[in-house]
Amino acid sequence: MAVRTPSKRIVDDIAQVVYTSEEIRGVIARLGAEISRDYAGLDPVLVGVLNGVVILMADLLRQITIPVTVDFMAISSYGDSAGKGTVRITKDLDHSITGRHVLFVEDVIDTGLTLDYLLRTLRTRQPASLKVCVLFDRPYRRLIDVPLDYRGLELPDRFVVGYGLDADGYYRNLPFVGTLHPKLMPHPVTERG
């Protein structure tokens, strides 16, 4: 079942704020500083998957103080209720990553299955290094171990929206992360990342 059309003011659809915009900004500033320190002189390329990562990528880029380039992929994922399914790349990278230091930026990681597939795919392209930065993590949902080199915040075991996380495409533009009012909850809850 799809989520009901949001209210005219989407903030009115939020039952509880989980992470404020100030908390998120603070974590992104920390991640940006760590990445700037660790990748100094390496000319890294940041890679993300559309659409959820757009907000994080924009804010993270503003916190990184060294030269970087950016590239994006898009995927479609067809899963079952157990979180297992098929991932298909619908938009590939525009530039080669061979010999480049790649930082894969992800808004949220749940089971790790999609991320594992994407990392295996990117490794075949022979980057100089491949690391992962995630803003929101759900380690209790992990089905496969994936390396996280830069980790932001742990999400509760509830369906949340905001700051790139959506319900049927809505709510990504909220500057914070929160739970929807129960009457708006999509059923069944679908896996992300």
Phi-psi region of 190 (alpha: psi -120 to 50; beta: other; left: phi over 0): beta
- What is the three-class DSSP state of 171? coil
* Number of C-beta neighbours around residue 144 at 10 A: 11
d(Cα 172, Cα 51) in Å, to the nearest integer?
Answer: 9
Among residues 110, 116, 137, 145, the one annotated as catalytic is 110
110 an active-site residue? yes
What is the phi/psi pair of residue 154, to 5°?
Answer: -95, 130
Give me the amino acid identity at 73: M
Residues linked to residue 1 through DSSP beta bridges, in sequence order: none
C-alpha angle with apex 8: 6 to 14, nearest 5 degrees?
55
User: Active-site residues: which are they?
Assistant: 110
